[in-house]
Amino acid sequence: MLSRILFQIFNSRAVKSEIEELEEVEKERDTFYELKISEMNEFGENVKRFLTETRTRMQELRNSVNEATMVIE
């Protein structure tokens, strides 16, 4: 009887320890994915900014070409 109680106590401690380890892994995973989501959002913003700047520059170049063409004609 005592051995069964000791076995159950040991098992409950082992399960509790495993639960704590899994909770820690879950926290680490959540932190990792929060960081990755933040990096992805930042990348998306950089892409939008690049597209806007590139489109603006392309329009400026078109305008310069049009002005140069008008001067030549």
Q: Is the pLDDT of residue 73 over 80?
A: no
- What is the per-residue pLDDT for 20? 97
**What is the helix (H) or strand (E) element at residue 73, kind and residue range?**
none
- What is the per-residue pLDDT for 1? 84
23 within a domain of the structure (yes/no): no
pLDDT of 48-71, one tens digit each? 999 999 999 999 999 999 999 988
- What is the per-residue pLDDT for 19? 97
pLDDT of 9-53, one tens digit each? 888 999 999 999 999 999 999 999 999 999 999 999 999 999 999
Phi and psi at 36, nearest 5°, equal: -65, -40
Hunting for tokens 């063409």 — which residue is that?
A: 69
49: domain range?
45-72
Alpha helix positions (H), the chain? 2-72
